[in-house]
Amino acid sequence: MIPHLKAGNPPADLEDLLETVGDSIEKLELFISAMSRMHYDDGIPSGEFNAIMCSLHLQVHEIQQQLAAKP
């Protein structure tokens, strides 16, 4: 299930859109980087793993929404 996010201020121009999407991609990069340092035998609880996966999914969804709301 994809959460319904509250829309923020729409980007005023393409430069603003690029900055917003760039910030979201940077967050996604940090999540993926953190996951790449994990090992399957780290013993991470399933709830914590699920939260990480949901965060990754949410970041991708936010980027899609930002690109769909282009000025």
- pLDDT tens for 10-63 read 777 888 888 888 888 888 888 888 777 777 667 778 888 788 888 888 888 888
Cα separation of 21 and 4, whole Å? 18
Domain that holds residue 42: 14-69
Is the residue at 4 inside a domain? no
Predicted structure pTM score: 0.61
Is the residue at 41 inside a domain? yes
Is the residue at 62 inside a domain? yes
Residue 7's pLDDT is 56
Residue 15's pLDDT is 86
Residue 27's pLDDT is 85
* Phi-psi sector, 44: left (phi>0), alpha (psi -120 to 50), beta: beta
DSSP class of residue 12 equals S
Is the residue at 25 inside a domain? yes
DSSP class of residue 42 equals S
Residue 30's pLDDT is 84
- Whose tokens are 């709830």? That residue is 47
Number of domains the chain contains: 1
Is the residue at 50 inside a domain? yes
